[in-house]
Amino acid sequence: MERLTTIRQRLHDELKDYPQRQEEDVIRQWKFMGIFGGHRSYLGHDLLGTLMAVTFGGLGIWWLLERAQLSGLTKAWNDEQSERQTKAEAPQDIEGLVLAEPASLEEPPPWVAEAPSLAEQAITLMTTGPIKLSLGMFNVMKEGLGKIPVIGPIYALILGFQEKLIEKSYSYMEQVQVGLITGMAAYITALFGAIEVGLLMIGVSAVLAFTSFFEAKAETRLGRAALEWDYLLCSYYHQNRPDPFFVAYFKSAIMFYPRLFGFGSQGEQTLFNRLTGQASLLCFLLIPVDLLIAMFGSEPFTLVGFATGTLLGIVVSISALAMYAPAICGSLTRHKLMGETSQLKVAGGIGMVAAAVGTVLGYLGVGMAV
What does the pLDDT look like over 5-56, one tens digit per residue? Answer: 888 888 888 888 887 888 888 888 888 777 777 788 788 777 777 778 777 7
pLDDT band at 370 (very low <50, low <70, confident <90, very high): very low
Residue among 75, 102, 82, 87 at smallest CA distance from 14: 102
Question: Is position 108 within any domain?
Answer: no
Domain containing 229: what range? Answer: 172-370
Q: Which among 206, 216, 198 has a CA at the least distance from the CA of 282?
A: 198
Whether 46 is covered by a domain: the verdict is yes
Number of independent structural domains in the chain: 3
Quote the CA–CA distance of 27 and 92 in Å, as a whole number. Answer: 19
Please give the Cα distance from 29 to 40 (Å, whole number): 9
Is position 232 within any domain?
yes
Q: Do 288 and 277 share a domain, yes or no?
A: yes
Identify whether residues 305 and 362 lie together within a single domain.
Answer: yes
Is the same domain home to 71 and 160?
Answer: no
Burial class (CB in 10 A: 0-12, 13-18, 19+), 102: buried
With beta carbons less than 8 A apart as the criterion, state whether 343 and 209 touch: no
The pTM score is 0.75
Q: Is residue 99 part of a domain?
A: no
Which of the 8 DSSP states describes residue 339?
T
Q: Are residues 161 and 208 in the same domain?
A: no
Same domain, 346 and 335: yes
Q: What pLDDT does 286 receive?
A: 67
CB 106 within 8 A of CB 339: no
Q: Which of 243, 218, 241 is nearest to 229 (CA)?
A: 218
C-alpha of 131 from chain center: 28
Residue range 280-318, pLDDT digits in tens:
666 666 666 666 666 666 667 676 676 677 677 777 777
Q: Are residue 77 and residue 194 in the same domain, yes or no?
A: no
Asked if residues 206 and 345 have their Cβ atoms less than 8 Å apart, the reply is: no
Residue 169, Cβ density class (10 Å: 0-12 exposed, 13-18 middle, ≥19 buried): exposed
CA distance 202 to 356: 7
Q: What is the amino acid identity at position 314? A: I
Amino acid identity for residue 204 in this structure: V
Which pLDDT value is given to residue 171? 65
